[in-house]
Chains A and B, each alone.
Chain A
Amino acid sequence: MANADVIGGPAPREALLARTLVELAETLVADFDVVELLTRLADRCVEVLGVGAAGLMLAGPDGQLKVMASSSEAMRVLELFELQAKEGPCLDCYHSGKPVMQADLATPTTRWPRFAAETLAAGFRSVQALPMRLRGTVIGALNLFHAEAGEMPPADIESAQALADVATIAILAHRASLEAQVVNQQLQHALNSRIVIEQAKGMVAERAGLNMELAFTALRTYARDHNLRLVDVARSVIDGALAPSAFGSVPRGGPAQEKDA
């Protein structure tokens, strides 16, 4: 997967980075699948930055980091991400909101003993975790693994952070859109119920010779007496399943109380 030879000179690589950023930004305007977006981002990190493996971890509602995407499906790589729910650069990065780097995992370290051992066993020597954050909110981290030891060049870190930033904006926009969808559905539902009730008021008012207020009282009383929801009673009236005679007396007519129905 690691294709370091691709980095021939600055020009093609910058073009690739620019194209990736545009590609990611385009997802902002349409509905998109978050996992697909993040998988694409992980793949592009490998291509653009020439890293050995890249992955993205997002915090769930419980605050636990979960692997959302990886450039490699190899078990040994996936396990490196999973491990970081408990310890590792991603967890530290998520908590601090700052980049976390380890230039050589082979040097004795006390920070993440288990993570370091497993990463070395998987064939990687250095690691970076970059925060996925927008203003005050940290939602996860971008994780990069290299086969070689050494510091990551500042320009590469900047590029990686730019990719992480665009993904963060896309994810937050997507979340806002999902929340908006839920609220909008509630609004529509509430209005539809209300409209059905108004229509039923009209029918009862006409059939029973009541004004709107009394028609509403009649509907509500019926719903209470029969332990039904007002909107369900209203729907039955409109469907014709419930006869208007069920709604108390017609003022002009004779007694039509049927409380014990």
Chain B
Amino acid sequence: MTEGGGRRERILDLLVGRGEVGFGTKRLCQVCAEATAVSGAGIMLMSGDAPYGSLCTANEMSDLIEQLQYALGEGPCVDAYRQDYPVLEPDLAQPSTLRWLAFAPPAIAAGVRAVFGFPLQVGSVRLGALNLCRDRPGPLSDDQHADALVMASIAAQAVLVLQTGAGPEGLASELEAGADFHYVVHQASGMVAAQLEVSVGQALVRLRAYAFGNDRHLTEVANDVVARELRFDAASGERDLVP
């Protein structure tokens, strides 16, 4: 018990710099990667069954892990959130269970060898998931695992504390500034919906399919649409021929 309390204090010490009162959301992932001594860490926010935003990522590798899960809707965070339980894949190239058929190949290609997902929750409330990744295979040590659980708990509390400060209608300014909610994807969905005369939901499916088919990030494709460099109607040949 005292050991667990000490762990939490040690991590909070890392989070809150000397002479500071609080910590920014960006620091969460940085400290998480440092504290658990892995290659990267990221925190995804989720709702329903899907990721809707990224609270922070520690580096490019964890950014990719989040991008892939955001675009594909599968991966360690998505599973950890859905199952309400940590999801551990110590060897992405030779997984014990066959899963993440779309997520695994690009992750491996980018040098990721092991991924771990931990749900962000307070009581029965689930907010998202923390992911850790590493450039070599192998399980987390007991210490790393315990640190990750504490980090996930701190991150969940932090999100709620930040949002408590906002009004019932708005989004906390720290979240608005610190987190990435991929707004450009929703803007692009609106544009593609108008181009194809379909619903925004269908438009998002088209954007995802295009990104997957062309081996690109969903946000990159969305940026191109918003910059009017990519169209989905007749002009670009992307038009769906079936009415």
- Chain B: which residue is nearest A231 at the CB level? B169
A interface footprint on B140-183 (CB within 8 Å = 1, 0 otherwise): 00000000000000000001100110101111100100000101
Q: Are A199 and B190 in contact (CB under 8 A)?
A: yes
User: Does B52 interact with chain A (Cβ within 8 Å)?
Assistant: yes
User: Does B119 interact with chain A (Cβ within 8 Å)?
Assistant: no
Q: Are A212 and B187 in contact (CB under 8 A)?
A: yes
**In whole angstroms, how far apart are the Cα atoms of A190 and B193 in the complex?**
23
Chain B residues numbered 186-200 whose CB sits less than 8 Å from any CB in chain A: 186-195, 199-200
- Chain A: which residue is nearest B187 at the CB level? A202
Q: Are A206 and B125 in contact (CB under 8 A)?
A: no
Q: Are A194 and B183 in contact (CB under 8 A)?
A: yes
Contacts of A159 in B (CB 8 A): none
User: Contacts A202-B226, A205-B191, A207-B194 hold; do A195 and B123 have CB atoms under 8 A apart?
Assistant: no
Q: Are A201 and B187 in contact (CB under 8 A)?
A: yes
User: Does A173 interact with chain B (Cβ within 8 Å)?
Assistant: yes
Contacts of B186 in A (CB 8 A): 195, 198-199, 202
Q: Which of A63-71, A101-109, A178-186 contacts B (4 or more CB under 8 A)?
A: A178-186
Chain B residues numbered 52-67 whose CB sits less than 8 Å from any CB in chain A: 52-53
- Chain B: which residue is nearest A200 at the CB level? B190
Chain A residues numbered 162-205 whose CB sits less than 8 Å from any CB in chain B: 173-174, 176-178, 180-181, 183-184, 186-195, 198-205
- The number of residue pairs between A and B whose CB atoms lie closer than 8 Å in the complex comes to 103
Q: Are A198 and B183 in contact (CB under 8 A)?
A: yes
User: Does A31 interact with chain B (Cβ within 8 Å)?
Assistant: yes
User: Contacts A191-B47, A202-B187 hold; do A183 and B163 have CB atoms under 8 A apart?
Assistant: yes
Q: Are A180 and B194 in contact (CB under 8 A)?
A: no
Contacts of B102 in A (CB 8 A): none
Q: Are B193 and A187 in contact (CB under 8 A)?
A: no
Name the distance in Å between A187's Cβ and chain B's nearest Cβ.
5
Q: Are A180 and B122 in contact (CB under 8 A)?
A: yes
Contacts of A173 in B (CB 8 A): 123
Residue with the highest number of chain A CB atoms closer than 10 Å, among B163, B175, B192: B163
User: Does B127 interact with chain A (Cβ within 8 Å)?
Assistant: yes
**In whole angstroms, how far apart are the Cα atoms of A88 and B188 in the complex?**
67
User: Does A160 interact with chain B (Cβ within 8 Å)?
Assistant: no
A contact residues vs B (CB 8 Å cutoff): 30-31, 173-174, 176-178, 180-181, 183-184, 186-195, 198-207, 212, 238, 244
B contact residues vs A (CB 8 Å cutoff): 47, 52-53, 122-125, 127, 159-160, 163-164, 166, 168-172, 175, 181, 183, 186-195, 199-200, 226
- 26 A-B contacts, Cβ less than 8 Å apart? A173-B123, A176-B122, A184-B127, A184-B163, A187-B163, A187-B175, A189-B169, A190-B163, A190-B169, A190-B171, A191-B53, A192-B47, A193-B169, A194-B171, A194-B183, A195-B183, A198-B186, A198-B190, A200-B190, A201-B190, A202-B187, A202-B193, A202-B200, A203-B194, A204-B190, A238-B190
- Besides A187-B127, A238-B200, 14 new A-B residue pairs in contact (Cβ under 8 A), listed by A number: A31-B124, A174-B123, A177-B124, A180-B123, A186-B169, A187-B159, A187-B172, A187-B175, A189-B169, A190-B169, A194-B183, A195-B186, A202-B194, A203-B193
